[in-house]
Amino acid sequence: MKYNPAKIERKWQRIWEKVNNYGAQDFSRKPKLYILVEFPYPSGSGLHVGHCRQYVALDAVSRKKRMEGFNVLYPMGWDAFGLPTENYAIKTGIHPRIATKRNTTFFKKQQKSLGLSFDRNREIDTTDPAYYKWTQWIFLQLFKKGLAYKAKIPINWCPACKIGLANEEVINGACERCGAEVTKKERFQWMLKITNYAERLIEDLGKVDYPERVKILQKEWIGRSEGVEIKFPVSGSQFSIDVFTTRIDTIFGATYLVIAPEHPIIEKLKDKIKNSEYVKEYIEKAKAKLERERIAKKEEKTGVKIEGVKVINPATEKEIPIFVAEYVLMHYGTGAVMAVPCHDERDFSFAREHNLPFLQVIKPFLKKEQTELFSLDGMFQNSYEGEGILMNSEKFDGLRSNIARERIREYFEKKGLAKKAIHYKLRDWVFSRQRYWGEPIPLIFCQECKKLVESFKLQVSSFKNKERFNKGELLNPGWFAVLERDLPVELPNVKEYKPTEEGESPLANVKKWVNTRCPKCGSPAQRETDVMPNWAGSNWYFLRYCDPKNDKKLAGPRKLKYWMPVDWYNGGMEHVTLHLLYSRFIYKFLWDIGAVPKELGPEPYKKRTSHGIVLAGGGVKMSKSKGNVINPEEIVKEFGADTMRIYEMFMGPFEQAIAWDTKGVKGVRRFLEKAWNLSFQFLNSQDNKGSINLKRLLQKTIKKVSEDIDNLKFNTAVSCLMEFCNAWLQEKDGLREKDFQDFLKVLCPFAPHLAEDLWQSLHQKNLKDYKIQDSIFSQKWPKYDKNLIEEERITLIIQINGKVRDTIEISRDVSESQAKKFALSQSKIKKWTEGKKIEKVIFVKNKLINFVIS
């Protein structure tokens, strides 16, 4: 029998599907294990070998865990709303729904060809109204709790295409599709208050098992910063400017102030500003720039001085100048910075550029650093950002900088000028897109009720209508939640997928859909036409897998309690700051409002891992334009799914990026042929005596594969299986049946088709009445025999009359007579025993031998 994967693989895929081999059982008595891989966006180009790497790896884990007795949930679905499909629709006129259907069918076929053990009964699709009903429901809850608000914010705008662009569509400042320079445009957008959860999102990282680098990335993204807000009074006015600083200890060295171009004080002071034309010009230019450009690390820092107005440094009580500079961002801290050129690198280069005074206020602890700060002629060469002893700071001189931070803060707190403050880099989440292929935002605008809300806000007590408004309605006068019984708000069909001339969603043209009735008063009202971003559906999909067909709730509490939290979540490193953070936020919110049972705790994922990306040969990125994309289907066709699977596991450490190598694929195929041929030799021969050495090696293999799968070390597990087959080839006596079975069991997570086929050949079951119990995957995961793997060689202690005289290396389990002969032949021992009579021998197997001599 020749190894023919094409024949056996399709056969088994069909049989497994028929008997539903991988359906997870709700409420089974077995311990549950929820294993999750990020569900894909079904793009037109099909599955990527990079997708396969993680699917296969976690598939091997799932298969092994089922054999260990776990009730494993390993689901799959489609994150199908998104831009490429919409752009494809703009180009071709083909409805995104049709393109999506086609793409998911294609993806599924490709996944199935790999023999993945997904539970297909739980498949979800984010574009299915039965699914996005709940995505909309979650949005409504956020709105009702006051966590969604509409605000005017600048978005990326392509003046040529006349559409708003997502950040990922802006390539080096240009529009991805047409190449025109992208500008900023202010628009009203729905925002989600993720910043309310900033603290908990950091705090609860202590409760989960994520790689350290993932935790660090999330913390940096949230960017918690503790410091002080302090007032700098504007000379000769009643105004003052608040600055946020993490280094209040350096305040005596603050020789000027810098404010963001958007800072509101500029408008308030406009009558006093002498060079307002010039300042205005600078501000307009800065505002048009992308934030990335504004904060780019460049030597030269642009900015202009505001003439005619000064502020007073509250520490020195001296007047200092004010600058406007683009590198200061309005949305961080207070949008104003006290600049300390000696102790902050950015302030240092800015002060150089604009000839501003330097005053050192921190003396470094080390001489070396002190000398680096100054040149011989007293000019400052560098800034010093570290800790040290205060100087030039009046009564605070001589204090250590960390203590000075407390003292100076307290001093200004007493004067009512300062307070502790915590700021986050994290910003509220822009949650609307002026697009078509997304979940409609389920809100309605009513002009009539807007007036009511406004008067209600003014005179709560005298309001006649006792009906209360929720927080969202008070926060966003005129906007009302669609009634929950009217969900889902289905996406209507349109003729034109392009946004309108004014950059509104294409939905704005569907007047019949837009015009509706107010859910409060019934008068004519309009629907929101923005849709949600593509993150919306993936925020909570892991909950839906627990109960995918529920039409009363996003998922029922009993099933959530049984399956959640996700025990192991694998996904790309590129998703750890966006998707991973967003979904943790939404989960926490759902937990807070009780949509997720309280017993479950505040974190959705117990453990997170990431796979390295798969590169093309030569270590470059795979891309269509370079023509170096490896198509998984072709590999499966040419070499077989099991080869493809094992190659992806064997190519390198799972967490590292690795280049595709077709030679390696061929090597894996040869390994499987070897395993197949050895197995048939076994099946065809009548008496398999079984070699003890091979049996020992098998025990080691079982141990190694078991541990490696749990620790994501798939490559070394595979190489161990390869070594085993090489040894098997050399051993005439081969394996006993039980050991052959164990071999197939440790191979089957990686090569499921081959192993199942051999298993059936061994048991000669009729395929017609194949049942789940007949499958190798219903067998128990093998246990290794510990006694057989302990080291083959041991150290034997030799004693003469109870005193240690020597030690020797011998094989394990040698008999007393052998040990005696060997020990007595050692020269060190001969010295003691020659010519003496041995009266007694005490032998402790594998430990010691003691000769009693007279």
Rounded least distance, CB 331 to ligand ANZ, Å: 7
Size of the site for Zn ion (CB under 5 A): 6
Contacted entry of Zn ion, ligand ANZ, none for residue 344, CB cut-off 5 to 8 Å set by kind: ligand ANZ
329 binds ligand ANZ (CB under 6 A): yes
Contacted entry of ligand ANZ, Zn ion, none for residue 225, CB cut-off 5 to 8 Å set by kind: ligand ANZ
Contacted entry of Zn ion, ligand ANZ, none for residue 338, CB cut-off 5 to 8 Å set by kind: ligand ANZ
Contacted entry of ligand ANZ, Zn ion, none for residue 521, CB cut-off 5 to 8 Å set by kind: Zn ion
The pattern of x and - marking residues 343 through 362 that bind ligand ANZ according to CB under 6 A reads xx------------------
Q: From the list 335, 565, 632, 734, which residue makes contact with ligand ANZ (rule: CB under 6 A)?
A: 335
Whether the Cβ atoms of residue 701 and residue 724 lie closer than 8 Å to each other: yes
Rounded least distance, CB 245 to ligand ANZ, Å: 3
CA 327 – CA 315 distance, rounded (Å)? 25
Mutual orientation of helices 752-763 and 641-650 as an angle, nearest 10°?
130
* Residue nearer to Zn ion on the CB measure, 226 or 467: 467
57 binds Zn ion (CB under 5 A): no
Whether the Cβ atoms of residue 422 and residue 226 lie closer than 8 Å to each other: yes
Site for ligand ANZ in 246-265 (CB under 6 A): 246-247, 250
Contacted entry of ligand ANZ, Zn ion, none for residue 343, CB cut-off 5 to 8 Å set by kind: ligand ANZ
176 binds Zn ion (CB under 5 A): no
Contacted entry of Zn ion, ligand ANZ, none for residue 140, CB cut-off 5 to 8 Å set by kind: none
Number of neighbours of residue 791 by Cβ within 10 angstroms: 8
Strands (DSSP E) found in 472-612: 479-481, 515-517, 524-527, 568-570, 608-609
* Residue nearer to ligand ANZ on the CB measure, 245 or 583: 245
3-state secondary structure of 423: strand
Interface segment toward ligand ANZ; rule CB under 6 A; list 130-138, 338-346, 569-577, 595-603: 338-346
* Residue nearer to ligand ANZ on the CB measure, 346 or 433: 346
Rounded least distance, CB 328 to ligand ANZ, Å: 4
Rounded least distance, CB 141 to Zn ion, Å: 21
Single-letter residue type at 30: K
Site for ligand ANZ in 437-476 (CB under 6 A): none
Question: Which residue in the block uniquely carries the two structure tokens 């796979």?
Answer: 611
Rounded least distance, CB 464 to Zn ion, Å: 15
Structure tokens at 722: 């390869």
C-alpha closest to that of 567 among 31, 8, 36: 36
CA 124 – CA 388 distance, rounded (Å)? 58
Question: Which residue in the block uniquely carries the two structure tokens 């052959």?
Answer: 740
Site for Zn ion in 503-542 (CB under 5 A): 518, 520-521
Q: From the list 3, 118, 244, 542, which residue makes contact with ligand ANZ (rule: CB under 6 A)?
A: 244
* Residue nearer to Zn ion on the CB measure, 449 or 755: 449
* Residue nearer to Zn ion on the CB measure, 520 or 527: 520
Contacted entry of ligand ANZ, Zn ion, none for residue 329, CB cut-off 5 to 8 Å set by kind: ligand ANZ
Whether the Cβ atoms of residue 124 and residue 131 lie closer than 8 Å to each other: yes
User: Which sign, positive or negative, has the C-alpha torsion 687, 689, 691, 694?
Assistant: positive
Distances (CA, A) of 561 to 70, 216, 558: 17, 30, 5
Rounded least distance, CB 340 to ligand ANZ, Å: 4
CA 443 – CA 507 distance, rounded (Å)? 14
Interface segment toward ligand ANZ; rule CB under 6 A; list 32-40, 245-253, 624-632, 715-723: 245-253
Site for Zn ion in 441-460 (CB under 5 A): 446, 448-449
Question: Which residue in the block uniquely carries the two structure tokens 């939640």?
Answer: 481
337 binds ligand ANZ (CB under 6 A): yes
Whether the Cβ atoms of residue 125 and residue 131 lie closer than 8 Å to each other: yes
Structure tokens at 577: 């700051």
Q: From the list 52, 58, 142, 340, which residue makes contact with ligand ANZ (rule: CB under 6 A)?
A: 340
Question: Which residue in the block uniquely carries the two structure tokens 């009735």?
Answer: 517
CA 374 – CA 590 distance, rounded (Å)? 56
Contacted entry of Zn ion, ligand ANZ, none for residue 449, CB cut-off 5 to 8 Å set by kind: Zn ion
Size of the site for ligand ANZ (CB under 6 A): 16
3-state secondary structure of 544: helix
Interface segment toward ligand ANZ; rule CB under 6 A; list 19-27, 325-333, 477-485, 687-695: 325-333
Number of neighbours of residue 512 by Cβ within 10 angstroms: 7
CA 750 – CA 719 distance, rounded (Å)? 12
Rounded least distance, CB 718 to ligand ANZ, Å: 45
Cα angle vertex 475, ends 470, 477, to 5°? 90
Q: What is the 3-state secondary structure (H, E, C) of 634-683?
A: HHHHHHCHHHHHHHHHHCCCCCCCEECCHHHHHHHHHHHHHHHHHHHHHH
Question: What length is written for the chain?
Answer: 854
221 binds ligand ANZ (CB under 6 A): no
Query: What does residue 666 show for φ and ψ, rounded to 5 degrees?
Result: -65, -40
Interface segment toward ligand ANZ; rule CB under 6 A; list 64-72, 331-339, 609-617, 641-649: 331-339
Interface segment toward ligand ANZ; rule CB under 6 A; list 36-44, 145-153, 243-251, 829-837: 243-251
Q: How many CA atoms lie within 13 A of 183 on its CB side?
A: 11
Residues in touch with Zn ion (CB under 5 A) = 446, 448-449, 518, 520-521
Residues in touch with ligand ANZ (CB under 6 A) = 225, 244-247, 250, 328-329, 332-333, 335, 337-338, 340, 343-344
